[in-house]
Amino acid sequence: MSKFDVIVLGSGPGGYVTAIRASQLGLKTAIVEKESLGGVCLNWGCIPTKALLKSAQVFEYLKHAEDYGLSAKEVDYDFGAVVKRSRGVADGMSKGVQFLMKKNKIEVLNGYGKVQPGKKVLVKGEHGDTAEYTADHIIIATGARSRELPSLPQDGKKVIGYREAMSLEKQPKKMIVVGSGAIGIEFAYFYNSMGTEVTVVEYLPNIVPVEDEDVSKQLERSFKKAGVKIKTSAEVTKVDTSGDGVKATVKTSKGEEVLEADIVLSAVGIKTNIENIGLEDVGIAVDRDKILVNDYYQTNIPGYYAIGDVTPGQALAHVASAEGILCVEKIAGMHVEPLDYGNIPGCTYCMPEVASVGLTEKQAKEQGYDIKVGKFPFSASGKAKASGNADGFVKVIFDAKYGEWLGCHMIGAGVTDMIAEAVVARKLETTGHEILKAVHPHPTMSEAVMEAVAAAYDEVIHL
């Protein structure tokens, strides 16, 4: 039986980052992984989807070459090659994690891990062999998978989840995307850009429903302009896969209709991977599919911790990484502050991109704030116009009394790379006037942040 200071179950962006930080702090560390290092994010999520989306973006640029005074004739694509490139990027990133494990002297335990009483982990290999390990601290970072609805059972062929959507052998002519969160919207953009006829079905009144309402409406306009069909306040009640394709019955306020497609992509959220990992054996408390933890990710059983998608915080890669670092720094005796879940940025990598942090306008009003709202459209941005990406805007929300930056919401080209300014400023409790007096470079997309703040304080120059 091998003894460690820390054993981490799962090697996604929560698990492998946690293991590296633990090793940096001098803790003897092991990580358990049943598939590929990097977890869903590196292998089947964040990274390979961005590779697909980049291919779609380049293809769109080529199709619109004339808009830039260029000529690109007979532009075409190889769907299989696009998917192959995406898989290659994912494989490269996974190999990068392997290198990081060796560099940081982290022992990789290949197999399916289960926590056991007495601070033990049982690891079952692919050939059925088992080994038991002990650690002073066991951190559960087993992540999540695509959630299945009773009305939308996934067969992996005609009704699929994000994993299959990333590696289809043949491009569908028609696709129905159920759910318009980040996963659904990104795939809707990708497949539409590549020529698939896409219909998005969203149960709530707005697509990307967690975003500010203005952003949701702008994205819906942009998507419809690109040819994506949008059905909001709609629900898929059943699917029929008996024929060549699939027939989805969709219920709306106007009644029921049947949509036909080659494939239905179910993107209705995630289900945590907490079954059969020994939680009941140890007595670890769970509530509504989440492991209960305190501010430092300790469960109710001493020596056992949980981070990432299996806990109640936002199910985002960067959240899992931050939680894991905080968790092991606390274990190592460092002084750490609990994570501020009100200052977590969210990003959706369609085109136009969506990025946000903090309160929406509606939330700020509901919480009783007297607010100042500023909005600056990219149609008034020199850089956006020059680059041919004038869709979208930056919207900022401030507390009128103290100048606190309550929220920032962006939609446009490259905004996922711009949102960090608002995150850092809010962390430092920066006021609107301080943003105004911080000189932003010209011409850049980021100027729109300063201009939106100026609009909130009636000082906007270029609008």
Q: What DSSP element (H or E) covers 391?
A: none
Q: Which residues contact 154 (CB under 8 A, 6 or more apart)?
A: 146, 148, 160, 161, 266
- What count of other Cβ atoms lies within 10 Å of the Cβ of residue 26? 9
Token duo for residue 189: 């953009």
180 is known to lie in a ligand binding site: yes
Task: Establish whether 50 is an annotated binding residue.
Answer: yes
Question: Is residue 269 part of an annotated ligand binding site?
Answer: yes
183 is in an annotated binding site: yes
Cα(418)–Cα(283) distance, rounded to whole angstroms?
A: 43
451 has binding-site annotation? no
CA nearest neighbour of 113 among 203, 31, 51, 21: 31
Which string of DSSP letters, residue by residue, matches 394-452?
A: EEEEEETTT-BEEEEEEEETTGGGTTHHHHHHHHTT-BHHHHHHSPPPSS-TTHHHHHH
Q: What angle do CA 435, 438, 444 make, to 5 degrees?
A: 95
178 by DSSP, 3-state: which? strand
161 labeled part of a ligand binding site: no
Q: What are the residues facing 115 on neighbouring strands?
A: 121
Measured CA to CA, the distance from residue 289 to residue 272 in angstroms comes to: 6
179 is in an annotated binding site: yes
The answer to whether 45 is annotated as binding is: no
Per-residue CA distances from 60 to 194, 198, 416 (Å): 8, 16, 19
Q: Is 202 annotated as a binding residue?
A: yes
Catalytic machinery residues: 442
Q: Residues at the annotated binding site for NAD(+)? A: 179-186, 202, 269
Binding-site positions read 50, 113, 179-186, 202, 269, 309
Q: Which residues are annotated as a binding site for FAD?
A: 50, 113, 309
